[in-house]
Structures are given as C-alpha cells and as structure tokens.
Structure 1
Amino acid sequence: MRRPALYSSSRPTRSGPDAPDSSAAAGADPAAESAPALTSTTTAPRRRLSLSHPALLWSAIALLAALLAASLTLGLRPMQRKLTQDDINAAVMKTLETQVMPSEYARAYDNIRPAVVRVVSFVKKSRLKDAKDNGHGAPNGAKPKPLGSAPGAEGNGSDEEVEHGVGTGVVIIDKGVILTNLHVVSGADRIEVVFSDGLQAEASISGVQPENDLAVLQASKIPDDLIAATMRSTADLGPGDRVLAVGFPFGIGPSASGGIVSGLKRAFRSPEGKHEMTNLIQFDAAANPGNSGGPLVTMDGEVVGIVTAILNPTPARTFLGIGFAVPIENAAAAAGLPPF
C-alpha cells in the first residue's frame, strides 16, 4: 500500500517544475487529499522578524537614538513665544504697580548734590565799625544778615568776625574750583566753603566776572572723592523745560525746589541800579536769599545756569515766582573753560 505524503511545518511546500504532479496526487485516496489541506491550514509556518539581523538591529538603535534626541531637545529648549507689545506693556505696568520709582526731580538732585557747596563769607567787626563811623555803611555793601551761625564761626575768631552772607556754590572742576555769585563773597575778609561730605575749607577768589555777578573760588583743601558737576549747553533749552534749583535759602539746606524754564534772554537790573544783566534764564523754581550762586539743573542733573537774582518789587527780598540764572556758557567762561 502506498504511503501518504508527509508535511513538515519547518519547510514550505515546493512549487515549480520539481513539485509533484497535482493530477497524480488527485488520483490517490481522496481522504489523503483532504488531510494535507487541513494540516497546512492549521500548522502553516509563521515568519518572525528577528533583531539578530545586523541591519534591523542598527535601524532600531538609530530610531531610538533619534527619538531620545528629540525628547531631550524639546525638554531643554522649549518653544519660545515671540514677545508682543502687549506683553511689554503688561510688564511695565506690573513694575510700576509693585515698585516705587524715584521722581525725575529726585534723580536730578542725587546727581548734582555731591557738587553743591555752602559758601559763607565773613567780615571783621573792626571794618564794620570803621565804615559805620565814617557814615558809609558796611564795606562793599557787606552787613550782618540774620541767616544763622556760620559753620565753624565759634572756633575761628567769632569775636572778631561776623557773617557777611551765606550763599551757594557748585564745583565745576574736581580740583576744588567753585562757581558762585560775586555778591556772595564781595568785600569778605574770609571765605569758607562746606562740601557735601561736611568738609570745611577756606577758599580764595581766583577770578571774577562782574557783568554777570560771577566769582570763581579755589578751595584750600578738598575731599578725596570730590565729584564735579556736569555742565550742559543751553542751546536746546526752551520754555517749559523742567529745572531744579539747589541751594541754601536763608542758610537752610541743601534745599531743592522744582519748576520750569519760564523764558530765555531776559534782562534784569539790580535794585541798586548799578548795572543791567542780560541773556538770563528766567525760571519759576523757588529761590530766596542763600540760593545765590547755586546751580540750576536739568532733569539729568546737568548744570545749565547759576542762580543769581530774584525779581521782587517789594523790600521783602522773598520769592514771587520770577528768578534769574546766568547761562552756564557765561559762567564757564568766567572760570576759563572753553565754550560748548
């Protein structure tokens, strides 16, 4: 009896020219024909992808490496959203709401304060007595003023000297060169300056410009870290620009007062009528006796003028809203500095 064909699950049935004739197989037992068909259906071979193949293994490694690099890149460098104007406005408003910002006047004062000095002049009592006996009044108009005690007066012969006046000066060169008004130091026997750090030093007059009521002082000693003021041209200064006047009104200070430039190229004649000053800056920042010689500064703390006079038709010598300053170009020329 003929044995039926055997089928192996590990070897597929061959096809092609060498395969057994199907007609011959058909002539065999019909039961034998149906049996192999059932077997091939239930035990057909399954092809499995094996990572032992080098190409597949390296492909998998490359894919995993690419995925890992992408995840790290996204994690370390997140997508940045482009800033818009609304974002900037919101940040600015948040800062303004949560932080107190200094005013422009405060910043201007901080910038100019290290360069502002108190100027005190003294005359001897004997000169006052001689002038009074001769009926001429105080020498060069000097007379005691009720502005408080001058610093160091008790230890510098207060029985022989009286206070001539208190004014203000501003350091324009860090070697101790100071600008002030001529009427503050005119006729004085001794001049004393007090720097912002409290250092007291005697000073001498090194130059004058009577037509602009200006005097240049040289201090005998200066602080180690003396800072000079920054001077700015008045070429672009105009009415409405904000300014700050710093000085020692009635000996109190340093004091600051804010205002605006009221006009340019003004003229002013002193109450004594001796001479007329021209090309002055008119301003409305409060100024009183003692402010004379002090700086008039912009909101950047840069000096544009030297306070020199106030307009008051009454004998009160108090501020009514009109002050005058010599432009810094004229003041710098008095110290021999080149123009802007």
Structure 2
Amino acid sequence: MRKPVVYSPSRRSTAATAVAGEAPVASQAGPVQGPRAAWRERLASPRAGWLVSASLMAVLAGVLVWQVSRPEPLPLTQKAIDQAVLRSLSTQVLPSQAARAAEVIRPAVVRVQSYGRTDADDDDEDGVGTGVVIVDKGTILTNLHVVADARRIRLTFADGSHSAATIVGAQPENDLAVLQAHTIPDDLVAATMRSTHDLLPGQEVVAVGFPFGIGPSVSAGVVSGLGRSFKSPDGENEVRNLIQFDAAANPGNSGGPLITMSGEVVGIVTGILNPTQQRTFVGIGFAVPIESAASAAGLPPF
C-alpha cells in the first residue's frame, strides 16, 4: 500500500493562504517581547510602584538620620586659630624675615628726585633719594640734603604714579625734610613707626631705598651702635644721637626707612661713613631715630 506524501509547511503556502483571503493563524505562544517592553510592563505593575515608593522613603529616612546624628561643628576659638597657624608654619616654607619686613614697608617707600638745584634748567636731575610716607594724606619724610634748594621735586610712589611735592617742614640739625605730595594715589599706605627706646646693638634691621637710583632695593644687617655722631664731608652740621647700622647703604638710600623685622620704621637713613672720596658703602651707615623724624613732621612723640 502506498504511503501518502506529507509536505512541510512553507512560506509559499502561507503566502498562498494570504492571497486566498484567509488570515494567517497566529502562534499560540503569543507575540515576542523585547527588553524595553518587558521593563515597561514591570514598571507599570502595582508592585513596581510600591517598590519605588519604598526606596524613596528609605533614602529620605537615611538623610534624616544623618542630619540628626551628625556632630555639631566645634566653635572657632583663638586656640584653634593658633593651632592652625602653627600647623601652617610647620608645613610651609616661608620667606625670610627680611623679605617679610620689606613687603610690609614697600607700599610706603617713595623715590624722590630733585631738579634744578645747581642749574637754571628745571629738567636737569640733580639727585635721587628716598622717602617714606608717614601720613596717608601724602606727608613724606626724607633727608634735607636730598631736596635742599631744588626748584622742583618729583615723587614716584609704589604703584608707579608720580606727583610733584613741596617742602613743608625742615629740621636742619637732623638733616630732615618733610614733603607734601600734590597728587595722592588712591589707597596710599603710611608706614608704621616704632620707638627706639628698646633698640639694642645686634638687633636685625633692614634698609630700603634707591641706591644709585636703583630700586626699591633691600639690604639687611644689624644695629651696630647707638648714640653716634656723624658729619658728612659736604655737610655743615654734625648730626648727633644716630643709629649706627651695617645694612648696605649707598647714595640714593638717603631719606629711606630703616626698619625692624616687623616692618616698623625706627630711623631715617641719613649718611654713610667712608674714609675715601668714593661715596660707597664700607660697612657703617647712620640713621636719624624716628622720634626726631616724627617731631620734624609735627607728630606727637611715642
């Protein structure tokens, strides 16, 4: 007996069924879902909504517990500040004391140029010295020999601005002159002055000025004597009660500040001792104590 032929289903038969107007039979397994559709279905379920709400509540509860249980910040005390400063000093390399002192005084140091002292032409510069601001209204101390007989005085401030100046006071016995700037820079800073009553030989000091017009320049040394007298080769008066120091000073330093390591002015540089005629520093300089300098400006004594 011949067996009937069995044919496997094919695309052709399916297509033929469609042509004949019959709808294809859907698979009993249902449509195949992709990953995104599956996640959408899960999130849309009531159980998923409950899980999301529970998770948010847990997060909020954790934040609340942390806020309640965290320790209160310690109050800021002077002791804590001091400890922080000590830690900073022990872990950071700081500049030298002289560098810090020079930075303190720098905004108050002024270059002083005099014109027309020996010539009728006011454009001829006759000398360069240094000055220091002692009142922020533009009052400046310098040496009298820097500006004496000048037809015109020009100041250069630390910010680079310039101003004409007028001599408003003098103390010839101490070689001091008081200048008033015509134009005052914004935020002009005055130096801090300190009494010399406790100044001792060996104490470190810094001289700031414009030696030979170069500067501001800084040199460091110590007080090498007190109560000295000095008469410059071209001077008429002997200046007494001077501070002797060994920080390098040269022509152009005249009128500049001699300061402590805290940046406080204790004297006004007035001259250098040199047995030759070269007018260069050999190790001994002199400064007028700031008490005398302040009195020249009409300031009260310390």
TM-score in terms of structure 1 length: 0.63
- Which residue of structure 1 aligns with residue 166 of structure 2? 204
- Which residue of structure 2 aligns with residue 100 of structure 1? 93
- Which residue of structure 2 aligns with residue 171 of structure 1? 133
Q: SS at 1:337's partner residue?
A: coil
2:264 maps to which of 284, 302, 327: 302
CA gap 1:212/1:110 in 2 versus in 1, 3 angstroms: same
Cα distance in 1 between the residues matched to 2:118 and 2:128: 17
Query: After TM superposition, which residue ranges in structure 1, 4 or more long, deviate above 6 angstroms?
Result: none
CA gap 1:334/1:126 in 2 versus in 1, 3 angstroms: closer
Question: Counterparts of 1:51-62 in structure 2 under 5 Å?
Answer: none
Q: SS at 1:164's partner residue?
A: strand
Cα distance in 2 between the residues matched to 1:238 and 1:252: 30
Q: Does 1:275 align with 2:207?
A: no
- Which residue of structure 1 aligns with residue 150 of structure 2? 188
Cα distance in 2 between the residues matched to 1:243 and 1:273: 26
RMSD: 2.4
- Which residue of structure 2 aligns with residue 69 of structure 1? none
- Which residue of structure 2 aligns with residue 285 of structure 1? 247
C-alpha displacement of 1:275:
1.8
Question: Counterparts of 1:1-340 in structure 2 under 5 Å?
Answer: 98-123=91-116, 126-127=119-120, 161-272=123-234, 274-340=236-302
Cα distance in 1 between the residues matched to 2:119 and 2:126: 13
Cα distance in 2 between the residues matched to 1:76 and 1:311: 70
Contact between 1:124 and 1:161, CA under 8 Å: does it hold in 2? no
Extract unaligned runs of 5+ from structure 1: 1-71, 78-87, 128-158
- Which residue of structure 2 aligns with residue 19 of structure 1? none
Contact between 2:117 and 2:126, CA under 8 Å: does it hold in 1? no
Cα distance in 2 between the residues matched to 1:97 and 1:339: 39
Cα distance in 2 between the residues matched to 1:273 and 1:176: 28
Cα distance in 2 between the residues matched to 1:160 and 1:312: 31
Give the AA of the match of 2:152. Answer: R
- Which residue of structure 2 aligns with residue 139 of structure 1? none
- Which residue of structure 1 aligns with residue 77 of structure 2? none
Extract unaligned runs of 5+ from structure 2: 1-65, 72-81
Cα distance in 2 between the residues matched to 1:125 and 1:321: 30
Between the two proteins, the alignment pairs up a number of residues equal to 227
Q: Quote the sequence identity (%).
A: 68
Cα distance in 1 between the residues matched to 2:146 and 2:235: 18
Deviations 1:243-267 (A, max 9, x none): 0000000000000000000011011
